[in-house]
Amino acid sequence: MRSNEVQGKTLWGSKSHYEKDVRSGESILIGTDYGSTSMHPMFSRNFTIGEALRQQRVVVLSRSLFSAFLSLLVGMIIWEAEDPCVPLVAALFTVVGISLGSVLEFFSTIRNRPASDAVALLSINWFILGTLSSRTLPVIAHMLAPSAIRIAVQLVHKDVLFPVSLLASDLGIPGIYLVHDFITVEEEKRLLAEVDNRQWRSLSKRRVQHYGYEFLYETRNVDSKHCLGELPSFVSNILQKILSFPGLGGDQNKEMDQLTVNEYPCGVGLSPHIDTHSAFDEFIFSLSTAGPCIMEFRRYPEGTWCHPTASVNEIHEDSPLLSSNFTRKAIFLPPRSMLLMSGEGRYAWHHYIRHRKVNLLLQVDPVGEKAIRRSSRRVSFTFRKVREGPCCCPYKQYCDSQLECRNQQVKQNIVQSSLPLKREAVCPTDTHQI
């Protein structure tokens, strides 16, 4: 063992040295007064490692008691003072800082010791500090709170941290249902192989395929007179299973006739939208395959939501045309799960997927993850039924069938005015910004 002595650690008058055990990489304290030159210093007469440690502990304890005493003194002055005195508070923190420093110094010399001594010493100090400066803390809190709140709001607003439900029952949106493992891994592979064998159409950030009826992105609708044919046979078993889906109420007249397959590369999302009321019936199913996603839902309070007039690609999550005053919820959609949007969840809540590669969760998911990493792609199969007559839902604010005549007036207002849309304006047609 090679000694590497370091001079200059003072033990209240006596000198000490540190020896670095090169093999273990640990610093251990050794004595100063080696006494005999024939012996290795570590085994010197009156100054064993144990003694040195004990001495060092006395030093730390004395310093801590000293700082506790000083904290007490300073704290009492602050307590008695009319106004909290900032220099004294600073002094108090300095004293505690000195104590903290000496405790840390002590423990850095013997790294593997249990930290109970240090914790005890620090607790005393911080307890005194907290108790005695309690009158000052509100002032400090008052000073720091706005920044802290701003940071917290930013974190939440930017959805860095946001509660995500794992079950539809926890989500609490009427009409939203989720069934996990709706298809098997084999079925999922077959579905993916089928669509990958077919022609994809590229949109700006994702690829799509349409079956039954083409979805027209310009009008956010379908041409109901132009049927592409029946849905492909590779989804027949899914259509069959859908009929017994919970939430469908055993209604057999819900045979889906339109399918959109969306392929999202990693990190690509979907802008907030409500599937056009006049285009599709109430029940909308979305099967997730290949990868997971977090789907979010927004509900705008009555009269605060306005129809964005920009084209699909110009509308972003934080578009100024959308009020920031909304209730937001999110649900985790694992691969092979089937989501049903119906009732209020289908007609009155916008749904969307954030453009994120990783989503942080406020609570752990079933496999104990705190973050959900998007896979290289997610492929969703959205099954809908093309509507035959006008929509008569009770959610008129979002219903293009029921707002048709008021649309013209609002469109005119938009053209005439260069000012931002007023939130209280009558909301025109429903939107499908996908």
Ligand X SMILES: O=C(O)CCC(=O)C(=O)O
- Name the site residues for ligand X (rule: CB under 6 A): 260, 262, 270, 275, 286, 351, 380, 382, 434
Contacts 24+ apart (CB under 8 A), 217-224: 217/312, 217/434, 218/311, 218/312, 220/273, 220/276, 220/279, 220/312, 220/430, 220/431, 220/432, 220/433, 220/434, 221/276, 221/278, 221/279, 221/432, 222/258, 222/279, 222/280, 222/386, 224/386, 224/387, 224/388
Beta carbon nearer to Fe ion, 182 or 352 = 352
260 binds, options Fe ion, ligand X, none, Cβ within 5 to 8 A by partner type: ligand X
Instruction: Report the alpha-carbon distance of residue 274 to residue 257 in Å, rounded.
Output: 19
Beta carbon nearer to ligand X, 19 or 275 = 275
> In the complex, what is the shortest distance from the CB of residue 208 to ligand X, in angstroms, rounded to a whole number?
8
Instruction: Report the alpha-carbon distance of residue 72 to residue 138 in Å, rounded.
Output: 19
Helix axes 49-80, 86-109, angle to 10 degrees: 170
> In the complex, what is the shortest distance from the CB of residue 142 to Fe ion, in angstroms, rounded to a whole number?
46
Beta carbon nearer to ligand X, 217 or 234 = 217
In this structure, what token pair is assigned to residue 433?
């910004």
Beta carbon nearer to ligand X, 64 or 286 = 286
How many of the other CB atoms lie within 10 Å of CB of 267?
A: 13
> In the complex, what is the shortest distance from the CB of residue 201 to ligand X, in angstroms, rounded to a whole number?
13
Of the CA atoms within 13 Å of residue 95, those in its CB half-sphere come to: 23
71 binds, options ligand X, Fe ion, none, Cβ within 5 to 8 A by partner type: none
Beta carbon nearer to ligand X, 397 or 433 = 433
Interface of this chain with Fe ion, residues 249 to 278, rule: CB under 5 A: 275
Instruction: Report the alpha-carbon distance of residue 178 to residue 130 in Å, rounded.
Output: 49
- The three-class DSSP label of residue 118 is helix
> In the complex, what is the shortest distance from the CB of residue 351 to Fe ion, in angstroms, rounded to a whole number?
6
Beta carbon nearer to ligand X, 299 or 406 = 299
Instruction: Report the alpha-carbon distance of residue 352 to residue 214 in Å, rounded.
Output: 21
> In the complex, what is the shortest distance from the CB of residue 316 to Fe ion, in angstroms, rounded to a whole number?
16
Instruction: Report the alpha-carbon distance of residue 285 to residue 338 in Å, rounded.
Output: 7
Buried b (16+ CB within 10 A) or exposed e, 6-39: eeebeeeeeebbbbbeeeeeeebbbbbebeeeee
Beta carbon nearer to ligand X, 339 or 410 = 339
Strand partners, 381: 261, 287
- The three-class DSSP label of residue 387 is coil
429 binds, options ligand X, Fe ion, none, Cβ within 5 to 8 A by partner type: none
Conformation bin of residue 53: beta by default, left when phi > 0, alpha when psi is -120 to 50: alpha
> In the complex, what is the shortest distance from the CB of residue 293 to ligand X, in angstroms, rounded to a whole number?
7
> In the complex, what is the shortest distance from the CB of residue 260 to ligand X, in angstroms, rounded to a whole number?
5
Provide the 8-state DSSP code for 264.
E
> In the complex, what is the shortest distance from the CB of residue 428 to ligand X, in angstroms, rounded to a whole number?
20
> In the complex, what is the shortest distance from the CB of residue 23 to ligand X, in angstroms, rounded to a whole number?
58
Question: Does the CA dihedral 321-390-412-313 come out positive or negative?
Answer: positive
421 binds, options Fe ion, ligand X, none, Cβ within 5 to 8 A by partner type: none
One character per residue 272-311, x = contact with Fe ion (rule: CB under 5 A): ---x------------------------------------
Beta carbon nearer to ligand X, 17 or 432 = 432
64 binds, options ligand X, Fe ion, none, Cβ within 5 to 8 A by partner type: none
Interface of this chain with Fe ion, residues 88 to 127, rule: CB under 5 A: none
Beta carbon nearer to ligand X, 71 or 260 = 260
102 binds, options Fe ion, ligand X, none, Cβ within 5 to 8 A by partner type: none
For residues 153, 154, 160 and 166, what is the CA-based torsion angle, rounded to 10 degrees?
30
Beta carbon nearer to Fe ion, 263 or 275 = 275
> In the complex, what is the shortest distance from the CB of residue 424 to ligand X, in angstroms, rounded to a whole number?
28
Instruction: Report the alpha-carbon distance of residue 107 to residue 93 in Å, rounded.
Output: 21
Please give the residue ranges that form the binding site for Fe ion (CB under 5 A): 275
